[in-house]
Amino acid sequence: MAIRGIVKYPDLTLKQACLPVTAVTGETVRLIRDMVDTMYAAPGVGLAAIQVGVPQRIIVVDIDVEQPGKNLLKLINPEIRRAEGEVTWEEGCLSVVDFTAEVRRAARVEVVGLDDREREVKVDAEGLLSVALQHEIDHLDGKLFIDRISRLKRNLYTRKLKKMLRTGKPLRENPRLMI
């Protein structure tokens, strides 16, 4: 079990667009295993490779907190093929500490990617799974959920965070499960 450090906002690493994975190697499989361990330890329901400092198009998602691992998704080069409807969901993020906000997303999505054995995976999702997939795929494009909220709310959070960092006051992590 290898738990990696999670990159925190405002680190500019999180703004990077990730590169597609061209071949699944042993290193890729180890990264995915580390991402899963890191996500569960955080605790969270999703994690993108860029959140552990690796700019590759890889995400892991598991919204089943009652039976971790049973419905775990490991997706390489995921893309949203279809999106419909609209839902507003209160989101948080393992990389954006001590902050949640309501975000509008597609209510249902179809996501296609590869698993860690290079087999195609198609996921039809709604509810939390749809939101989590969209949230993690946003990370791969260098976008955070706070980029989807009003500039006023984002600026208030950024000022609060900078003040906390400047004063040395430790950041209190939100104990709720984060995407």
- Non-local (6+) Cβ contacts of 156 within 8 A are none
Closest to 72 (Cα-Cα) out of 105, 37, 107: 37
Which amino acids are annotated catalytic?
136
CA 36, chain centre distance (Å): 12
Amino acid at 110: E
**DSSP state, 49?**
G
SS3 131: helix
DSSP 105-158: E-SEEEEEEE-TTS-EEEEEEEHHHHHHHHHHHHHHTT--GGGGS-HHHHHHHH
